[in-house]
């Protein structure tokens, strides 16, 4: 049985992420990791905050904090939100770790030894006032295309045109505001991706047929346009330093590696961080080095990250000429939009993950987001759709089933699972249907088709309701008490089955359903086909309690309040 290495795109350090970021990487990776663990696989789910680059320095400056202190606080704030969403990382690291510095510098040295790094002179904006070269994002000014007066030197946020700092009208330093800027020559390291083009093409060709069409088409587009040599160093105070033993002049100037060079290496760095916490029992290299035959590596990311993970990072790994593990499967997602538009922190438009947890428990969001994951195309978050999904699927189909079965049984038979009755034709039909739907659910989870997996899970819940309506124990008990006991006992076994198989989607609710039954030996991690047909897990005489309402229905007043707070279609 293969070991499964799972990573999700590293969330950037400057600010709490919105729901689109959650559903495009970390949440589906968590759902898949949980499922694989339940099925008995050895799983390592690794993520980290991406802490280097210009935005981190600018965000720290805005808050008046040293950048290392800002990043430490921001890391803890993000981790608290992900804990709130019950993301079960094996380790959530930091790209500023000493482990990432060590491995990034090792990669750079090896690429240099193999002839894939070159030192080149380029012309760059210099600020005498600040006494430093300014990276593109440190230069602000007026966009020559639309007149926006806060355009950055790499791109105008207003009209989205890609810019060069020298294009800006009235350019100024984002650090000091000084307009006394010069263009000077400086040296940087370039990764010679052009020399690796054919190797990357051959590698992608071996994998792309297995990837989702979104991932393979983006990789192919970049390769068809040709790989260009890319600067991998920047003039920043914060980042992985260029090693002085290899490039003493650049190190003396304080050059650091570009964030997109060191960020993917942090997957390896974070694994080493994890292993270093318990070195006697954890071996990070067995997951990453010479691990092709023993490890299956799956990456989760939104489409904007795909080029870096399917082309640029593989080029880096190939150029190192060492047997580092490369990705086997890239699960790429489209955008989740907010009423068809972008989530925006500055415009207070859309729901951010910390706000989501303030409103409702994590399972409401986990289920909705995965059931509507933007897999085949962009999908739009609307409060109307969210409210309808919560009420129909979670409150009515699952929550109401659990509550009415346990409440009615307690009222008519007491606080133990009732005995009596022998399974008949209805139970046999139910068993076959549950086994079929469970097989469908497993198939979609194995294929990483999350919307289809959610539909199969919802169908499992619906099958219980159909059985209950067919048997109608509230009528049955008037003429056949044993028959009603059988119906309720069968339904309780369905609740236990739902608790087990729903855990990847709604872990807290699954735990509440499972804890309703006093089963001392309940160690089931999954349900076999035979168990799905016979439903033997909760025998007669098992004590049970009625849990609080699992999912509260959302009202029209709730809907109106959410739209007023976060903006709706007219925001």
Cα separations in angstroms, 71 against 46, 60, 252, 258, 271: 19, 8, 25, 17, 20
Q: Which residues are annotated as a binding site for ATP?
A: 345
Q: Quick one: DSSP state of residue 554?
A: P
* Residues found in the chain: 571
Residues 209, 210, 213, 218, CA torsion sign: negative
Residues 444, 341, 17, 59, CA torsion sign: positive
Torsion of CA 312, 315, 320, 325, to 10 degrees: 90
Separation of alpha carbons 48 and 271, rounded Å: 10
Separation of alpha carbons 333 and 343, rounded Å: 16
Q: Which residues are annotated as a binding site?
A: 143, 146, 156, 159, 345
Separation of alpha carbons 303 and 21, rounded Å: 11
Separation of alpha carbons 188 and 571, rounded Å: 44
Q: Are 551 and 398 in contact (CB under 8 A)?
A: yes
Residues 26, 28, 34, 37, CA torsion sign: negative
Q: Which residues are annotated as a binding site for Zn(2+)?
A: 143, 146, 156, 159
Burial code of 472-508, b = ≥16 C-beta within 10 A, e = fewer?
ebeebbeeebebbbbbbbbbbbbbbbbbbbbbbbbbe
Tokens at 270, concatenated = 């974070």
């Amino acid at each position: 049985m293969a070991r499964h290495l799972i990573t999700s795109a590293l969330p950037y350090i400057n600010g709490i992420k919105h729901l689109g970021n959650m559903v495009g990487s970390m949440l589906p990776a968590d759902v898949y990791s949980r499922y694989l663990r339940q099925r008995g696989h050895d799983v390592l789910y690794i993520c980290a905050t991406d802490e280097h680059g210009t935005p981190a320095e600018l965000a720290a400056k805005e808050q008046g904090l040293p950048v290392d202190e800002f990043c430490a606080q921001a890391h803890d704030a993000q981790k608290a939100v992900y804990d709130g969403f019950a993301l079960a990382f094996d380790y959530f690291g930091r790209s500023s770790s000493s482990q990432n510095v060590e491995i990034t510098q090792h990669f750079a040295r090896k690429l240099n030894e193999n002839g894939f790094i070159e030192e080149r002179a380029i012309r760059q904006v210099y600020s005498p006032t600040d006494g430093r070269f300014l990276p593109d994002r440190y230069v602000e000014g007026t966009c020559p295309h639309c007149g926006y007066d806060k355009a950055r030197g790499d791109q105008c946020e207003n009209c989205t045109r890609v810019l060069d700092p020298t294009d800006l009208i009235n350019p100024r330093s984002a650090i000091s505001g000084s307009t006394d800027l010069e263009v000077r020559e400086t040296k940087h390291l370039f990764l010679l991706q052009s020399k690796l083009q054919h190797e990357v093409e051959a590698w992608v060709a071996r994998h792309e047929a297995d990837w989702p069409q979104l991932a393979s088409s983006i990789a192919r587009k970049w390769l068809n346009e040709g790989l260009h040599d890319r600067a991998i160093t920047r003039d920043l105070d914060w980042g992985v330093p260029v090693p002085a033993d290899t490039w003493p002049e650049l190190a003396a100037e304080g050059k650091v590696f570009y964030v997109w060079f060191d960020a993917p290496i942090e997957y390896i760095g974070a694994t080493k961080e994890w292993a270093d916490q318990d070195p006697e029992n954890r071996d990070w290299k067995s997951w990453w080095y010479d691990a092709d035959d023993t490890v299956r590596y799956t990456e989760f990311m939104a489409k904007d990250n795909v080029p870096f993970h399917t082309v640029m990072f593989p080029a880096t790994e190939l150029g190192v000429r060492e047997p580092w593990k490369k990705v086997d499967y890239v699960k790429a997602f489209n955008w989740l939009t907010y009423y068809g538009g972008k989530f925006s922190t500055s415009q207070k438009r859309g729901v951010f993950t910390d706000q989501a947890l303030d409103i409702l428990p994590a399972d409401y969001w986990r289920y909705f987001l995965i059931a509507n994951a933007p897999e085949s195309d962009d999908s739009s978050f609307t409060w109307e759709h969210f409210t309808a999904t919560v009420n129909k699927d979670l409150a009515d189909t699952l929550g109401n089933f659990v509550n009415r079965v346990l409440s009615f049984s307690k009222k008519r038979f007491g606080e133990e699972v009732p005995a009596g009755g022998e399974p008949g034709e209805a139970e046999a039909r139910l068993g076959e249907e549950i086994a079929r739907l469970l097989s469908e659910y497993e198939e979609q989870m194995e294929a990483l088709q999350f919307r289809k997996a959610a539909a199969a899970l919802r169908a499992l819940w619906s099958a219980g309701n159909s059985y209950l309506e067919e048997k109608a124990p509230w009528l049955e008990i008037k003429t056949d008490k044993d028959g009603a006991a059988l119906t309720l006992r069968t339904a309780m076994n369905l609740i236990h089955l739902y608790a087990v198989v729903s855990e990847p989607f709604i872990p807290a609710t699954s735990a509440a359903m499972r804890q309703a039954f006093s089963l001392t030996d309940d160690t089931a991690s999954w349900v076999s086909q035979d168990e799905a047909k016979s439903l033997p897990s909760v025998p007669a005489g098992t004590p049970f309690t009625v849990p609080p309402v699992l999912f509260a229905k959302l009202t029209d007043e709730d809907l109106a309040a959410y739209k007023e707070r976060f903006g709706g279609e007219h925001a």
